[in-house]
Structure 1
Amino acid sequence: MHNQIDFFNSIKSTIPDYQNLAQTVAEVLTISTNEAYKKIRGNSILNLQQIIRLSDHFGIPFLYKPDQLPTVTFDYLSVDQEIPNMLLYLKDLLKNLQVIHLSKSKHITITTDDIPLFHFFKYPELTCFKLFYWSDSVMNADTKFDPSIFTDEIISLAKALNQLYLEIPSTEIWAKDTVHGTIEQIRYAYEARYISPILAEQIIEQVRYCLTDMNMYAIASKKTIDPSHTFNWYNCDVLGSISYLIDFKDRMACYNRFNTFNYLRTEDQPYCLQTKNWMQGLIMKSISFSGQGEKHRNKFLYHAFAECDNLIAEINRA
């Protein structure tokens, strides 16, 4: 019964304030509003078909776990690492982010040793390069990087994802070498002749623009002019994993990166709470880059910009 009440609380968090939960549930299940209220309160049990219908309609899983088994259920999108399938990946990512964006209360906390993908989605060539590098195509010696192989739809989806993320309050905990990984990817692609010197320099410049954006967000402690789009940025020497925790106030969801760019997703609340506590512990050990953390932020960005400049100098000397 408790699982059913939690299920309806999760559904409620996804619908607008003006929308009546009981009426919406009644329409989806084709039952009376009175019966819908009973199910929401837990006085009437949902059958399997009704659970499936509600889960499919609202995109909310019904989670059941026997108390004696310490198990966690994860969902994941199976996408082959091929360029044509990146469209499917971005569409699924957009659907997930739209659900978060529409929720009344939300906050994203990220731990990462790579620049969060939502930031570089603002820049077309950088976006295309990262998607190219993630794909199996980078392992094929005959494949050269060309941004034109990515459709306008992919670029539009990436920009939409960037805009949505800017409007969601967030906290990011970066590792010491978070920028280094992307710089090394560009260096490898250039040295292996997957990308031309001109394109390599253009992509490096866009990494610089991305870092300049980060600096602006950190100074203002927000990502847009809207004060509700808060941003907190931290630096931690040791992280251990790339995780995204979504806090909806009355429930949480956790996304863990795997296989380079894919993710495992769960709404198992004990697992999410454990992840939240771990992240809060990391913050306590981290250096703040936001607001008054100017000295440490400038030092971090100085080294990141220096890496970009050094790679451009290497390319120009070649």
Structure 2
Amino acid sequence: MSFNKNQAAFFQTLKLSLPSYNSLVDEIAEILEISIDSAYRRIRGEKLLDFAELEILCNRFNVSVDTFFNLHSNSILFQGNQNDYQENSFMNWMEDVYAQLNLVNSFSKKHIYWLVKDMPPFHHYYHEELAAFKFFFWRKSILFTESLKESKYSIKDNLYGQFAEITQKILKAYHKIPTTEIWNIEGINSTLRQIELYHEMGIMTSTEDTVFLYNCMLEVIDNLEKMAEKGKKILPSHPEIEGADYNFFLNEFIIGDNTFFATMDEKKVTYLNHSVIYFHGTSDPSFNNAMFRNLDNLIKKSTQISIVGEKDRKQFFNKLRKKVVEKINALPIEEE
């Protein structure tokens, strides 16, 4: 393969990262600040890119220079954000989640896969009080937000309000994307343990709030079961709005790692979880093809309980409810 053909192949890789309605030549012309004709010549491999242009394009499209030179190295380029320990870190994280979901939604053919270790955050957002608790927990105990250092949690504080708008945007974006989730019985343990720990540490201001949050979890489980039964996403606040396809698989043999995988037309992206809430993503073709094969194999070895498998579905969700009820029953009875 000649160098010019390598360049043409490089641009084909860039094209796969664009929504179908975006023009590659227009994007290249704008990014490199060149004419449409000059962009065409580079895309066809008639004019070679210089190193400055190559750097700009690799940064803009998040691809490795290895792709351009057709190097076969073991390095994989990932991109993502990390905690900067600022007061607005969580809002920035929420906005990034929304941006990623919007990116997926910009493609005509899209699907997301979630290899569940902890229940995907979107399900918590269906209940304002539970969402507010998770926001508080993530900010206080994961992001170490300074203003919450000595704070306690109370439902009365309405901590949801400041994040209400972005939360609803995220839910509506997620609602439109066909999704496959691979679950294990451990999927709700993290949230249950977080509620329990805050109660034991006195960070919860009342037992009533603790019980209320456990009951929110029961409602989440109810909604998950309804979605699995229908095979469609459901917004409890707007059940009349039909959501995208929802596939629920149960795998008793493995505990997931919160891998988030998206297919967008011909493009694939893998998001790997780190630091509890953050994800780093890669569009590396070789890595993503291997990841997709792995997910496909896991699905084949899992039990589908969405739409079909009524007996297995009822047994699974009843087991989840039992976990929550046991937490409620374990709470000490407060004397009046």
Instruction: Tell me the TM-score range normalised by the shorter chain.
Output: 0.7 to 0.9
**Secondary structure, aligned partner of 1:193:** coil
Aligned to 1:8: 15
**CA-CA distance at 1:28 after TM superposition:** 4.2
Residue 200 in 1 paired to residue 200 in 2? no
Aligned to 1:104: 108
Aligned to 1:265: 281
**CA-CA distance at 1:70 after TM superposition:** 0.9
Question: Within 5 Å, which residues of 2 pair with 1:93-242?
Answer: 93-137=97-141, 142-146=150-154, 148=157, 150=159, 152-195=161-204, 196-223=206-233, 229-237=244-252, 238-242=254-258
Structure number, greater radius of gyration: 2
Normalising by the residue count of structure 2, what TM-score does the alignment of the two structures yield?
A: 0.83
Q: Which amino acid aligns with 1:123?
A: H
**Secondary structure, aligned partner of 2:276:** coil
Q: How many residues align?
A: 312
Q: Which amino acid aligns with 2:106?
A: L
Deviations 1:246-286 (A, max 9, x none): 11131211111111111121111111111111111111111
Residue 302 in 1 paired to residue 311 in 2? no
Deviations 1:83-128 (A, max 9, x none): 6421111111111111111122211011011110111122222122
**Secondary structure, aligned partner of 1:315:** coil
Aligned to 1:40: 43
Equivalents in 1 of 2:241, 2:42: separation in Å? Answer: 38
Equivalents in 2 of 1:145, 1:155: separation in Å? Answer: 17
**Secondary structure, aligned partner of 2:270:** strand
Aligned to 1:63: 64
2:83 to 79, 93, 104: 79
Residue 88 in 1 paired to residue 103 in 2? no
Equivalents in 1 of 2:183, 2:72: separation in Å? Answer: 36
Q: Given the superposition, is the C-alpha separation of residues 80 and 23 from structure 1 closer, same or farther in structure 2, using an over 3 Å criterion?
A: closer
Equivalents in 2 of 1:5, 1:216: separation in Å? Answer: 42
**Secondary structure, aligned partner of 1:292:** coil
- Contact kept, 8 Å, 1:5 with 1:41, in 2: the verdict is no
Q: Which amino acid aligns with 2:104?
A: I
Q: Given the superposition, is the C-alpha separation of residues 41 and 299 from structure 1 closer, same or farther in structure 2, using an over 3 Å criterion?
A: farther
Equivalents in 2 of 1:46, 1:212: separation in Å? Answer: 56
TM superposition outliers: structure 1 runs of 4+ over 6 Å: 138-141, 225-228
1:244 to 236, 256, 260: 260
| Structure 1 stretch displaced more, 301-310 or 167-176 | 301-310
**Secondary structure, aligned partner of 2:61:** coil
- Contact kept, 8 Å, 1:112 with 1:239, in 2: the verdict is yes
**CA-CA distance at 1:198 after TM superposition:** 2.1
Equivalents in 1 of 2:193, 2:76: separation in Å? Answer: 35
Q: Given the superposition, is the C-alpha separation of residues 46 and 292 from structure 1 closer, same or farther in structure 2, using an over 3 Å criterion?
A: same
- Contact kept, 8 Å, 2:183 with 2:256, in 1: the verdict is no
**Secondary structure, aligned partner of 2:271:** strand
**Secondary structure, aligned partner of 2:331:** helix
Deviations 1:211-262 (A, max 9, x none): 2221122112121578782111111121352201111131211111111111
Q: Given the superposition, is the C-alpha separation of residues 45 and 88 from structure 1 closer, same or farther in structure 2, using an over 3 Å criterion?
A: same
Q: Which amino acid aligns with 1:37?
A: Y
Q: Given the superposition, is the C-alpha separation of residues 86 and 287 from structure 1 closer, same or farther in structure 2, using an over 3 Å criterion?
A: same
Segments of structure 2 that go 5 or more residues without pairing to the other structure are 1-5, 235-239
Equivalents in 1 of 2:93, 2:58: separation in Å? Answer: 21
**Secondary structure, aligned partner of 1:253:** strand
Normalising by the residue count of structure 1, what TM-score does the alignment of the two structures yield?
A: 0.87
